[in-house]
């Protein structure tokens, strides 16, 4: 085979040389450069060049093919996704029963069915791909809201969770944020292990990482009981925030950073548990509220005040 090929080449070279005045070893002139007269003088095929090359054909794209295409108006989040008719939602319908459409009943994640787990992850993915999650995560990275290390910590994150839950419910009204009772469980929710989304943040895309158990211990039931034993908000809240901090570092990776933590769905389940513990403590310690006044009492960037955060039923959710 190789011999045949080589033989062919010989023949061709001989023939080429032969065409240049018969001298077998003479200088071979360069090929003239490629020249296409149409390139300089394109023929007229009778078509105008399109005003808008992305939409070249007016018959197909209508006004988009013109110099003045329609203005782009984004859909509001609640209209970004198709939703089945209310009757066609598949059970279980956790959030909207016949009496109250908006009340969320937040459950221990261990109580979720596979369908409920999937719905939570699907809704999380949906709000992420429609770029609604990234901006919510970015709010958490802005220290101007003073949401850590002071009495705003619990009420601010209560509203933050609520905004997240509202976003999830726009995609699937059956979804509520489940809580991760880490003190009792002492393990990472296994159904989240393979779920490490990439979120578009103002700093660029961030993919969730975890270093589970590597850099901290996970506070246990006794630690939570000790925090719960505080009789005033001023001592209870820092104790609970400390437990919360350890949980962040225990998960590690994204969760260890204020900037990236809310990219991990476990952030919301962790904060849901912190919020649940606070609600339980509130019920046991009526009238004990954060000492916040003036601007510090407004849960910016939202309009809720500290007073609005006292009653979770009034905010539209409860814990089971
Ligand atoms: Cu936070």
Q: How confident is the model at residue 175, as a pLDDT?
A: 95
Q: What is the DSSP letter of 211?
A: -
Note if the pTM is more than 0.85.
Answer: no
Helix (H) or strand (E) holding 207: strand 204-207
The DSSP code sequence of 43-59 is ---S-PPPSSTTS--HH
Q: pLDDT tens, position by position, for the chain (320 residues)?
A: 334 344 444 444 444 444 444 444 555 566 777 777 777 777 777 766 778 877 777 888 788 888 888 887 777 776 666 677 777 776 554 444 444 456 899 999 999 999 999 999 999 999 999 999 999 999 999 999 999 999 999 999 999 999 999 999 999 999 999 999 999 999 999 999 999 999 999 999 999 999 999 999 999 999 999 999 999 999 999 999 999 999 999 999 999 999 999 999 999 999 999 999 999 999 999 999 999 999 999 999 999 999 999 999 999 999 99
* Token output for 304: 């809720």
C-alpha–C-alpha distance, residues 265 and 144, integer Å:
24
C-alpha–C-alpha distance, residues 313 and 311, integer Å:
6
What's the gap in Å between 248 CA and the centre of ligand 1? 10
What's the gap in Å between 243 CA and the centre of ligand 1? 13
What's the gap in Å between 299 CA and the centre of ligand 1? 13
C-alpha–C-alpha distance, residues 106 and 270, integer Å:
12
What's the gap in Å between 240 CA and the centre of ligand 1? 13
Q: How confident is the model at residue 101, as a pLDDT?
A: 56
Q: Choose among 89, 236, 91, 268: nearest CA to 166.
A: 268
Residue 247 Cα to chain centre, angstroms: 21
Q: CB–CB of 161/275 below 8 Å? A: yes
Helix (H) or strand (E) holding 317: strand 317-319
What's the gap in Å between 280 CA and the centre of ligand 1? 20
What's the gap in Å between 153 CA and the centre of ligand 1? 7
Q: How confident is the model at residue 59, as a pLDDT?
A: 82
């Amino acid at each position: 085979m190789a011999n045949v090929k080589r033989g062919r080449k010989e023949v061709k070279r001989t023939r080429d040389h032969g065409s240049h005045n018969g001298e077998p070893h003479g200088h071979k002139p360069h090929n003239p450069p490629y020249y296409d007269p149409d390139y300089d003088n394109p023929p007229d095929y009778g078509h105008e060049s399109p005003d808008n090359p992305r939409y070249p054909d007016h018959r197909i794209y209508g006004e988009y093919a013109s110099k003045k295409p329609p203005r782009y108006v984004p859909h509001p989040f609640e209209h970004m996704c198709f939703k089945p008719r209310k009757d066609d939602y598949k059970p279980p319908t956790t959030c909207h029963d016949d009496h109250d459409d908006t009340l969320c009943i937040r459950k221990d994640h261990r109580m979720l069915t596979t369908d409920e787990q999937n719905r939570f992850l699907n809704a999380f993915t949906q709000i992420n791909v429609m770029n609604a999650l990234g901006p919510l995560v970015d709010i958490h990275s802005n220290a101007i809201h003073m949401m850590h290390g002071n009495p705003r910590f619990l009420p601010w994150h209560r509203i933050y969770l609520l905004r997240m839950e509202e976003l999830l419910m726009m995609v699937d009204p059956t979804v509520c944020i489940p809580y991760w009772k880490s003190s009792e469980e002492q393990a990472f929710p296994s159904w989240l292990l393979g779920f490490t989304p990439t979120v578009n943040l103002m700093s660029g895309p961030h993919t969730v990482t975890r270093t589970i158990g590597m850099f901290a211990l996970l506070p246990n039931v006794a630690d939570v009981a000790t925090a719960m034993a505080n009789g005033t908000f001023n001592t209870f809240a820092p104790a609970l925030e400390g437990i919360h901090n350890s949980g962040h570092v225990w998960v590690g990776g994204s969760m260890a950073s204020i900037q990236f933590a809310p990219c991990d769905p476990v952030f919301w389940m962790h904060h849901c548990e912190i919020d649940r513990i606070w609600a339980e403590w509130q019920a046991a310690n009526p009238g004990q509220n954060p000492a916040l006044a003036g601007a510090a009492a407004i849960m910016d960037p939202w309009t809720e005040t500290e007073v609005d955060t006292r009653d979770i039923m009034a905010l539209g959710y409860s814990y089971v």
